[in-house]
Every structure is written in structure tokens, then in C-alpha cells.
Chain A
Amino acid sequence: MPGHKKCPTDGRSPQFSDEEVQNILTKITGLDLQKAFRPVKQELKPPTYRLMTDAQLAQATQKAIQIAKERLKMPPVLPERKPIDDVLAEDKFLEGLETVKYVFTDITYNIPHRERFIVIREPGGTLRKATWEERDRMVQLYFPREGRRLTPPPVFKEENLMVVFLQDRHEDILDLCLVQFEPDSPDYRRVHKLTYEDIDKHGKYDLLRSTRHFGGMVWYLVNGKKIDGLLIDMIQRDLIQDTASVIHLYHMLHPRGSSAKEAGEQQAQGIDLVKIFTRTESQKAGYVELALQAYQETSTERSAQSSSP
């Protein structure tokens, strides 16, 4: 399919849910079976052993890959929801009758939560629609979701988040955030932003690689034009294809930048894209070039060694 969704003349910049963007991000995320199925702390039970033929083993590996792909499905990146601010009726004659607010929630089973009517009658007599926080609370009260708490746990406060980051538990906190908050809520966006910033600051990109949050992180960094650290990390791990994909994504999102124009002129591929990017729009150009040089030296050494005997 021609990339009609990313065509700059489209007028619409590429979104997270576009097919091409998703393909790039899944490719970058990778699929490390050892990490996806690593042993976790749980109730101990005696191990099970199975004798398998090679064919059965291949089948089992395929099944494991399928399950891992399910687990690596990326949660959506959405713009922040607009606050609800709608008064349905103002009945002054009800003023002073009650001292508390009444919340009326529609608990019909078969409707999506975002189509549920939740209205609040204030003691002053106004009948208004509930705000997003009140909506989330009410929906959680009547239709509890597994793992979600009524009030968000104190982990999500700034100071506690710092402690969690020091323990290198970014993946855990992102999982907790995904369970607790809606993807377009301001809390979700704030926690994700803080996590991504911390990872970028300390260069801990490998913590999220091969998890479902890697795509979101790359999207955030590319939108914020902070991909230098990520590129350095990838070059150091010899993932040149991934660096090329990241820069391709960068050009998709910022097509009017100098690096995109030059790459378009020269029709560059692979490592040349990286070089063009370092020349033009990179912020940590020095470090990226150093990393590139080191990579090229090691690759020439390796090819020399492999060709010599």
C-alpha cells in the first residue's frame, strides 16, 4: 500500500494508530521471548517437565510467540480529554433542601461507559453532568475493573514516583498506570511523561524494550524531538535497522525539518540516514557521531576477522 496516510500533502500529520507508524513501532520494540516469559516472584510449585520432539518444540515456540505478541499490543496514545462542563437545569426552588450532592448514575449493563449518563444534583439546585474524575469513580464503583482502585494509590505522586524510578521499576509503574487510569486522563499522561523523561535522562531505554510501552515511549520522544539518547543506545547495541526506522518515523512527523529534506534529496537508507540526522538536527551530535564511529570500527574489525581465516 502506498503510504497515503503519511503523505505530507494530506495535511494531516501521522497519528499513533496509523498502520505504518504501528508497523515501525512494533519492529523497533522487538520480541524477546526470554524477557516476556522471565520467571517472576509467585507462589512456588514443583516444576513440570515435558518431553517433546523437535516439531512439538517448534509448535510450542510458535504458540509462545503468539502469546507474547498479544501481550505486546500497544495501548493507545490519545490527546487529553476535554473537561465536561455542562449544566442541564438550574432549579433554584431546591436550594437549601439538601446538604449533600446526589449522584445519579445510569447502570444499564449493555452500554459503553463513555455513553453512560452520570449527573449530579448540587445542594444549590443545579443539575449538571459529572466531571471526568467523578465519572471514573462512579463507573469503578458500579462496574469494578480488575486491579483498578477507587482512589489512585499514592505511588503516583511525584515523590513516590522518584523512589520507584530509583528502583528501576518503570515497566511496573506503567502497567499500574494503565490499569488505574483511562488513556486520555491527565493523570495517565502525567505519569507517562514523567516516566519517559526519567528514562531519557538516565538512558535506561532497555528497561522498556520488548514491552508494550516501548512504542509509546518512542512516539513521545520523537514528538518531543529527543531521540538522541535513544539513537546512541541503539547504536551501542548494534541495532542500526532500528535507528533507521526511528529516523524514518522522525521524518514522517517533522517533514519540514532540514534533516527530512536532505534525506529526501539524497534518498538515503540505513546508516546514511543516521549520518544526515546527526549533521542537521541532532542535539547531542558529538555523542551520536562518537557512537557511530565506534560502531563502524567494531564492524570493520569483525568483518576483517571473519574474512581473514
Chain B
Amino acid sequence: MGANAFKQSSEHQPSYLQKFGGLNSPEGTHQAKRPVRLLAAPVSRSFCTVPDQPAFDSISRYRERPWEYLESEGGYQTKPISAKSEIAQCQNGEIKELVYRSVLNVGGVFAEYIEKYGSQTVWADYRRNHKGGIPPQKTRKTCIRGDKISGNPCPVCRDPKIQVDYRNVKLLEQFISTHSGVIHDPTRTGVCMKQHKNLTRAIDTARDHGLLPFRVPFVEFKMEDYSNSHGAVTKTPPPGEAGQAGPWYSWYQWNQPPEKEIAKVRQVYHKYLKEEEPVAGQ
């Protein structure tokens, strides 16, 4: 199988090439024992020739600056590829093989965002496959399990260049209703539940960082006493200071409660009150 560790240097070669001494390695040219036989045409395999290299670079570049993909147009035109090849993208993001899946019916042409989606949302042309007229109320749990990608992947999983990140606001806005500001249901957009969770988290983070506008609920402001004169928030003199009359804090001694409070308590328990006598102290 192809290379496992993908290096970004210009000299890397997949292992099947290295077996044959490689194209440019010193041993190959020096020994020149066997002719270099490639297993497949260089264009259909990933990183052996230079034109394909930017294809890989772009995905990692989009991971750092995810919003650039949504403004990209044009792109590199490569020759059509075999229909069996797939994007295999591990869940930890390591890309194994970089050949575009023909399921998008773009004929293997390696197109960038505007050519692919135009001015539509990424989920506009996606249709779920399900039995009957009413779709299941939850979309599939995830499209990518380990190495395998399921049939008819959701709009976010089918395009590896779409990075769900709180910084690419243009992508996130596509998943929010323009009229009500509510995040679209996954049954409407077709994304898998895992990506929907990622999107929700990214939208919340973007709103927290002020990148996405949202409606701020009106909270009535209640005036409090802002004099900050109570002992809890000011400096306390140490106890037993010379010249201090009375207790350290005023509530350390008996304070007669206000008449209103007494009246309230009396009113609540009026059935149980005994004959009233003048009460001295507690």
C-alpha cells in the first residue's frame, strides 16, 4: 500500500518507489540496477509528482486558515481517476490517500469551492437516502468510522477541505437560518450527528468570540445599593480596638426587627399566637 507517513518535503517518495531505488535517490542513479517501474500512473497516485503536492498542502493549509477555502475558486485540473479510489481520512486527521472520490460527480476534476458549490450552501444539493417519504428524525451517527467512509457521506464529511472551525464564519452561517437565527436541524441539512455537534459547538464558540451576530436577550437592569459601605467589603478594624464602643459588628447584639417583619410573621401564624404579653428582649 502507499506511504503511511506523509512528509511534506519535496523528496519524499512512497515506499513502492523506494523499493525500486526511487526516482532521484543517489543509490538509484548510482547503482542503476533495475529500471524504475511504477505501480500506477503517477497522476492517479498522490505525492509522487509536483502538481499533486499542492493538493495535499491545501488541506493542511485549510486546517490552519479554514475560511480561505470558502473564498477559493479555480484549482488544479488533474486527469480523471479510477472510480474505486476513495478519500480515506482517519478520525485523527491523518490522511492516507488523497484521491478524490468520484461520488460527487465532478468527473474526477479537482475543483475548488466556487466551482463546486457556486453561491449555494454546501448542503443545498445533498439528498439523503432513506426508505419512504419521511426521513428518519436523526441522521446517521457519523460518516467516517476509522478508515472507512460510508456511502453517500454528508455534506461536511464528503469534502475534506471543509473544516468546521469557529473562525470560518461563512461556513457556519450556511447552517443558521437567516430568518430566525436558529441552527438548522440535521434532517434539513443532511449532516451526520457528529458533524452537527461539531457545528453547534463551533457556532457557540463563534458567538462567544463575537464573530457571529446573535440576538442579545434584553435583561432588565435592577438597581442595587452600590455604596459599598458595609463591613463585608470594607476594611474591618481589629476587634477590641481602643475607643471602640459596643460590639465589633452591630449584629453581634440584639437588633429589634422592623415592625413590618414582625407584622408579617404575626399574620402568617396568627392562629397559633397565644395571648400577647409585653415581651422584653428575646
Q: Mark A162-192, 1 if CB is under 8 A from B, else 0.
A: 0110010100110110110001100000000
Q: Is the CB of B226 within 8 A of A146?
A: no
Q: Is the CB of B224 within 8 A of A86?
A: no
Q: Is the CB of A147 within 8 A of B232?
A: no
Identify which of A42, A113, A135, A163 contacts B215 (C-beta below 8 A). A42
Residues of B within 8 A of A75 (CB): 221
Q: Is the CB of B233 within 8 A of A114?
A: yes
- Nearest CB in chain A to that of B208: its residue: A153
- Nearest CB in chain B to that of A162: its residue: B210
Query: Is residue A88 contacting chain B, with contact meaning CB distance below 8 A?
Result: yes
Q: Is the CB of A41 within 8 A of B179?
A: yes
Chain A, interface size: which category? Answer: 35 or more
Query: Is residue B213 contacting chain A, with contact meaning CB distance below 8 A?
Result: yes
Question: How far apart are the CA atoms of A153 and B236 in the complex, in Å?
Answer: 34
Give B181 Cβ to nearest chain A Cβ, in Å.
4
Chain B, interface size: which category? Answer: 20 to 34
Query: Is residue A76 contacting chain B, with contact meaning CB distance below 8 A?
Result: yes
Residues of B within 8 A of A54 (CB): none
Pick the most buried of B213, B223, B228: most chain A CB atoms within 10 A of its CB: B228
Question: Which of A115-123, A196-204, A295-303 is near enough to bind chain B?
Answer: A115-123
Identify which of B209, B215, B235 contacts A41 (C-beta below 8 A). B215
Give B236 Cβ to nearest chain A Cβ, in Å.
6
Q: Is the CB of B179 within 8 A of A117?
A: no
Q: Is the CB of B233 within 8 A of A155?
A: no
Given contacts A146-B219, A163-B210, A179-B219, contact A86 B228 (CB under 8 A): no
Residues of A within 8 A of B263 (CB): none
Q: Is the CB of A155 within 8 A of B180?
A: no
Give B250 Cβ to nearest chain A Cβ, in Å.
12
Query: Is residue B230 contacting chain A, with contact meaning CB distance below 8 A?
Result: yes
Q: Is the CB of A112 within 8 A of B179?
A: no
- Nearest CB in chain A to that of B182: its residue: A43
Give B33 Cβ to nearest chain A Cβ, in Å.
60
| Minimum-distance CB pairs A-B, first 7 | A41-B181, A155-B210, A164-B210, A115-B230, A160-B210, A153-B208, A172-B216
Residue contacts A-B, CB under 8 angstroms, 10 given? A71-B218, A78-B226, A86-B235, A147-B219, A154-B209, A154-B210, A155-B208, A161-B210, A164-B210, A172-B213
